[in-house]
Amino acid sequence: MAIFVTGGAGFIGSQFVRDWVRKYPAQLLINFDKLTYAGNLENLAEVEGNPAYRLVRGDVCDPNAVLDALPDRCGAVVHFAAESHVDRSILSAAEFVRTNVLGTQVMLDCARQKGVGRFLHISTDEVGGDMEADEWFHEDSPLDPSSPYAASKTAAEHFVRAATRTFGLDTVITRTSNNYGPYQFPEKLLPLAISNAIEERPIPVYGDGMQVRDWIHVEDNTAALFAVLERGRKGATYHIGGGNPLPNIEVLRLLLRLLGRPESLLTRVPDRLGHDRRYAVDCTLIRGELGWKPGIPFEDGLRETVEWYRDHPDWVAHAKSGEYRGYYEKMYGVSV
């Protein structure tokens, strides 16, 4: 049975695609991606040319394009495609509403129309808003998003739940904490800090740097997504966290130590507007029900990640310059 992935050229989506094609080489995986600035086909070089993998360039907000690409009775849709960066949503929210809300509703409608087996919706711990020092975000906690990005992801979740309640569509939702690992676009904290540190350029620290994020390695996340897709309960929501809650400043100090760079690179800048102080996902449900737990200790994962960025200066330079668009043209002869 085929699987239809949206946003498979992004950071987490491309990890999922690479892992899936390795694990299920006989199943067709269709990657439907608009290839925005965040979609990078260099992330998918490993599966390029594999008969089990097909790329379709398209927009999740365009029902005709989705219906053309989505096979009848497709086994599953895994919906990653989104505008994903909080700072960009603060600058301008319109594209977030379009892609994250309208795009999700279009995907749900198309999935119903095509008789898709299961719809896995990728959400975020940010829909809960920030937690007090001793508070935990549970699957049934109230949703209280702070940023326009989180607000759009919250709205999307409501459409997913409504599709199950109203139409009986088999959906599952995952809410993941901050992912890190190779191939993450260098506008997010860790790849930005690592690449700047390598180049001995200042690393911007928002506000007091004491905001807490729970870091999970992207491979641990995709393992959890496989478990939810294959064994999760219809209509359920599962939290996926790394169990590594750390203030930003500590994470940055650790990576500077790993890279042998001075702390003087850390440069305080004004705080992000509406900045969430602490995320804390409770992951008891997925651990108990599906037997998943993260396997990569943070310091090991961070060391490998730092090495990956150090070993891939061309990838970083392309991502930072937008040059990967040229790569697409070279591969497909189409201007993007």
Interacting residues toward ligand NAD by CB under 6 A: 6-7, 9-13, 33-36, 38-39, 59-61, 80-82, 84, 99, 103, 122, 124, 153, 176, 178-179, 185
Q: How many Å separate Cα 74 from the centre of its chain?
A: 22
Q: Which is nearer to ligand TYD, 54 or 253 (CB)?
A: 253
Give the β-pairing of 3-6 and 29-33.
Answer: parallel
Q: Which amino acid is at 137?
A: F
**Comparing C-alpha atoms, which of 278, 83, 329 is closest to residue 187?**
83
| x/- map, 213-252, ligand TYD, by CB under 6 A | x----------------------------------x----
**Comparing C-alpha atoms, which of 287, 170, 284, 179 is closest to residue 236?**
170
Q: How many Å separate Cα 187 from the centre of its chain?
A: 13
CB of 232 to ligand TYD, least distance (A): 24
Per CB under 6 A, the segment of 28-36, 39-47, 184-192, 221-229 that binds ligand TYD is: 184-192
Q: Which is nearer to ligand NAD, 164 or 177 (CB)?
A: 177
- What, of ligand NAD, ligand TYD, none, does residue 43 touch, CB below 5 to 8 Å by kind? none
Q: Which is nearer to ligand TYD, 85 or 112 (CB)?
A: 85
Chosen residue from 30, 55, 60, 192 binding ligand TYD by CB under 6 A:
192
- Structure-token pair, residue 262: 């001075």
- What, of ligand TYD, ligand NAD, none, does residue 7 touch, CB below 5 to 8 Å by kind? ligand NAD
- What, of ligand TYD, ligand NAD, none, does residue 206 touch, CB below 5 to 8 Å by kind? ligand TYD
- Distance (Å, whole) CA 272 – CA 263: 21
- Distance (Å, whole) CA 51 – CA 272: 44
Per CB under 6 A, the segment of 49-57, 200-208, 236-244, 284-292 that binds ligand TYD is: 200-208
- Distance (Å, whole) CA 302 – CA 280: 20
Q: Which is nearer to ligand TYD, 191 or 232 (CB)?
A: 191
Give the β-pairing of 212-217 and 245-247.
Answer: antiparallel
Q: Which is nearer to ligand TYD, 180 or 226 (CB)?
A: 180
Sheet holding 76-79, edge to edge: 53-57, 29-33, 3-6, 76-79, 118-124, 171-176, 237-240
Sign, CA dihedral 200-204-210-211, equals: negative
CB of 33 to ligand NAD, least distance (A): 5
Q: Determine whether 149 is an active site residue.
A: yes
> Residues 126, 214, 219, 220: which is the catalytic one?
126
**CA distances for 229 relative to 174, 179, 237, angstroms:** 10, 19, 11
Q: Which is nearer to ligand NAD, 194 or 261 (CB)?
A: 194
CB of 72 to ligand NAD, least distance (A): 21
Q: Determine whether 125 is an active site residue.
A: yes
Does position 178 interact with ligand TYD (CB under 6 A)? The reply is: yes
Residue written as token pair 């269709």:
30
Q: Determine whether 126 is an active site residue.
A: yes
Rg (CA), the chain: 19
Q: By three-state DSSP, how is residue 327 classified? A: helix
Which residues participate in catalysis according to the annotation?
125-126, 149
Binding stretches for ligand TYD (CB under 6 A)? 86, 178, 188-189, 192, 204-206, 211, 213, 248, 272
